[in-house]
Amino acid sequence: MTEVADEGSMTERKSVLRTVAVRMVYRTGSLDVPALQGIDLDVKQGEFVSIMGPSGCGKTTLLHILGGLAQPTSGHVFVDGIDLAAISDAERTRLRCRKIGFVFQRFNLLTTLTVQGNIEIARQIYGGKPISRQEVGDLLEIVHLRHKLDFKPLELSVGEQQRVAIARALVNEPAILLADEPTGNLDSRNSEQVLRLLADVNREKGQTIVMITHNPQAAEMGNRTIEMLDGQIVSHGTAPELVRESREARTRAR
């Protein structure tokens, strides 16, 4: 977490998240619906990877598989070198707790707890020393919400709720932060704040981030962008390249 991202030396970095030929097929009645068709992905420590693609292309499924929330039909996922297919469900849960932080489009805060309670419970699940109010306050300082410690989620604006969700995801200093359309429910001002926050966390703390987004401008915040279509990765590149390609494709179509 102390290592700062450096695009120049990214290839030499340790791989924290890797997939090999990941396939996912959903069975609907007697019909097999392929959601992912052989995904190979390698995310290095300190990288900020954006995954783009149209709705239904398998982005969220991939994110769930990367975070150990779902199991692929075939293929392997390695988190910090550990093959998720080779460990039990309980061990996967423990690994998720230790290594992965989630940020969701719908924030997913526990509405019966305060902001402080939402952060405390993530530490409680992690185990170990309980987090003090001072430490919660310091963490909330990063997302500029120290003054909202005792508020309930529904008393906050949507942008604030997402910032609390980011603070909660960071409380146990995970190796990887997985963000599923974190700006999907936000207006442009709040989106910008949240994206800047993620970029800051990546740059200043070296936090590895994998973010799903529909928004090309949001994808530009990352240092690598992956484009998906029909359950496959169709291109890798830096965000500006893909944004430019996308723009050109639209122009040609006209």
The footprint of another protein (CB under 8 A) covers 64, 67, 69-70, 90, 93-94, 96-98, 100, 102, 104, 108-113, 116-118, 120-122, 124-126, 130, 168
Length of the chain: 254
For residue 94, the minimal CB distance to another protein (Å) is 7
For residue 64, the minimal CB distance to another protein (Å) is 5
For residue 70, the minimal CB distance to another protein (Å) is 5
Distances (CA, A) of 175 to 62, 72, 208: 18, 21, 7
**Residue closer to another protein (CB basis): 110 or 234:** 110
**Residue closer to another protein (CB basis): 9 or 111:** 111
**Residue closer to another protein (CB basis): 20 or 121:** 121
**Residue closer to another protein (CB basis): 113 or 199:** 113
Dihedral sign from CA coordinates of 150, 206, 47, 175? negative
For residue 9, the minimal CB distance to another protein (Å) is 31
* Long-range CB contacts for residues 2-11, cutoff 8 Å, separation at least 24: 2/205, 2/206, 3/45, 3/46, 3/206, 4/46, 4/203, 4/204, 4/206, 5/46, 5/47, 5/48, 5/202, 5/203, 5/206, 5/223, 6/46, 7/223, 10/44, 10/46, 10/47, 10/223, 11/44
**Residue closer to another protein (CB basis): 112 or 188:** 112
Q: Name the token pair of 183.
A: 């700006």
For residue 104, the minimal CB distance to another protein (Å) is 7
Contacts of 12 (CB under 8 A, 6+ apart): none
